[in-house]
Amino acid sequence: MIVIDHATVVTLDPGRRELTSGHVVVDGNRIVAVGPGPAPAYDGARVIDGSGCLVTPGFVNTHQHLYQWVTRGLAVDATLFGWLNTLYPIWAGIDEESVHVAAQGALAQLARSGCTTAADHHYIFPRDGGDVLAAEITAASKIGLRFHPARGSMDLGKKDGGLPPDSVVEDRDEILTATEAAIDRWHDPSPDSMLQLVVAPCSPFSVTADLMREAAELARRKGVRLHTHLAETTDEADWCDERFGCTPSEYAADLGWTGQDVWFAHGIHFDDAEIKRLGASATGIAHCPSSNARLGAGIARVADLRAAGCPVGLGVDGAASNEAGSLLEELRHALLFARARGGPQALDVRSALELATLDGARILGRDKDIGSLEVGKLADLAVWRLDTLAHAGIPDPVAALVLGSPPPLELLLVNGQPVVEHDTVVTIDEPALARRVASTQHKLVVAAT
């Protein structure tokens, strides 16, 4: 049993209680008490003094490409399509070892930024690369995060008018067979689940319409969720107009890709009518502000999407277009970019915190068990130290977390187990992993030149 006492607690429960001096008690993998004042005494419990700390629900990352952690810092001034064309030849050389190293590095950084649940979109499966999906699943288990790997795919190569090189695309039947096998092998639908699979063809410009349609049918038959990139750039919009005579969202809708079981990465270039339709179907959006800014893709209309009824979560996106890989940074950027686009009232600090917690949990279909601090929910939480020089004197702890510099992470619990303590990931050797990341990146880049 773990008792966090004398802390400020932001519950995000239905009443949005905020306890200026409260406690959270964890027994096993569930929260058993949340309340004001000191905690009751529990024999044998580990008691953590939360004085000067803020307790929040663990953050939920709704879009990532973990393998890219070992291809950071390349094509830093390119647009999306130019960036992809530079990196595809390097990514063609990934294998299960490099993916395992990359996934550990990216997931460890996510943990250090308050993330307890991570969704990853992996769509490159080199024929001689081994079992790369298993490699990242093993990495997530090692780090200790709750994991939603999205089995991605590409079947539209350059010879057929797509963007990716033909060496990294797969046959449609092969994709569907492998995806169903992955679901059967790995997916755990239970409320306590640490691992749930997602069906995720990559994007309109790398996937055929037949694969998109059949992937949606497969996901619904197996009872899992659907994810893809959509409306990220004006280049994509032009490509869809030229090839299909419609917008990316119209194309997706025609193929059955809307609804509460669907979420899109980015969702920047939607008009008012499209946002209204997406909201009516409760289709989700993974907002990736840092990556979108890094590639100059634009700023998603977060306030408008939420007002229309779309759940909007946060994503760090691939580390090759967001070298920081910090979910806390996305929280701050989401608020700042929303205000840059829509004015000072476009997004408040508590709504920004909801993007990283409750809304992300809703997108993944996990809001009954994670996303808020309530009795009976899973013990996924973060304890942030706000009494250092960087944050001392800021009267609103939520504003301090969202608007200030990243505070030290005193404790991160996932499923009731410590993953970060005193700002250090305790499930791995961080310096040794850093050396492996650097070595792996060097090998991949040299092999591609």
> Domain boundary at 320, 345, 363, which?
363
Q: Please check whether residue 264 lies inside any domain of the structure.
A: yes
Report the domain count for the chain: 2
| pLDDT tens readout for residues 287-343 | 999 999 998 999 999 999 999 999 999 999 999 899 999 999 999 999 999 999 999
Domain assignment present for residue 276? The answer is yes
Same domain, 295 and 410: no
Across 28-114, where does the E strand assignment appear?
30-36, 46-49, 53-57, 59-61, 64-65
Residue that is last in its domain, among 311, 335, 363:
363
- For residues 251 and 187, state if they share a domain: yes
The tokens describing 194, both together, are 């640490």
Q: What is the pLDDT of residue 320?
A: 87
Which of 265, 202, 206 minimizes the C-alpha distance to 230? 265
In a domain, 393, yes or no: yes
Predicted local confidence at residue 163, as pLDDT: 75
Count the Cβ atoms, other than its own, within 10 Å of residue 382: 27
Residue 415's domain is classified under what CATH number? Answer: 2.30.40.10
Quote the pLDDT of residue 257.
97
Q: Say whether 5 sits in a helix, a strand or coil.
A: strand
Domain identity same for 230 and 275: yes
Residue 429 lies in a domain: no
Between 72-81, 119-128, 147-156, 435-444, the lowest mean confidence (pLDDT) is in 72-81
152 and 276 in a single domain? The answer is yes
- pLDDT bracket for residue 286 (50, 70, 90): very high
Mark whether 271 and 380 lie in a shared domain. no
Choose one of 295, 330, 363: the last residue of a domain.
363
Say which residues have a Cβ less than 8 Å from residue 261's Cβ, sequence separation at least 6.
219, 220, 225, 226, 365
The secondary structure of the chain in percent helix, strand, coil, rounded to multiples of 5, reads 40, 20, 40
Determine what percent of the chain is predicted with pLDDT higher than 70. Answer: 100
- Indicate whether 158 and 276 sit together in one domain: yes
Examine the domain organization and report whether 217 and 347 are in the same domain.
yes
Encode pLDDT of 172-211 as tens digits: 999 999 999 999 999 999 999 999 999 999 998 889 999 9
Per-residue pLDDT reduced to its tens digit, 79-95: 888 888 889 889 989 99
pLDDT at residue 162 greater than cutoff 80: no
- Quick check: is 432 in a domain? no
403 and 324 in one domain? Answer: no
pLDDT digits (tens, 9 = 90+) for 348-395: 999 999 999 999 999 999 999 999 999 999 999 999 999 999 999 999
**Judgement on whether residues 119 and 184 belong to the same structural domain of the protein:** yes
3-state secondary structure of 129: coil
Residue 296: inside a domain:
yes
As given in the structure block, the two tokens for residue 227 are: 């994810």
Domain presence at residue 435 = no
pLDDT at position 424:
97
Residue 379 vs residues 32, 151, 314, 414: alpha-carbon distances, Å = 9, 27, 20, 6
* Arithmetic mean of pLDDT over the chain: 96
Closest CA relative to residue 268, chosen from 232, 302, 296:
232
The CATH number of residue 292's host domain is 3.20.20.140
Domain holding 389, by residue range, is 2-57+371-423
Closest by Cα among 17, 21, 29, 14 to 413 = 29
Considering the domain boundaries, does residue 223 fall inside one?
yes
In terms of domains, do 222 and 241 share one?
Answer: yes
Residue 143 confidence (pLDDT) above 90: yes
Domain shared by 73 and 105, yes or no: yes
Say if residue 154 is in the same domain as residue 237. Answer: yes
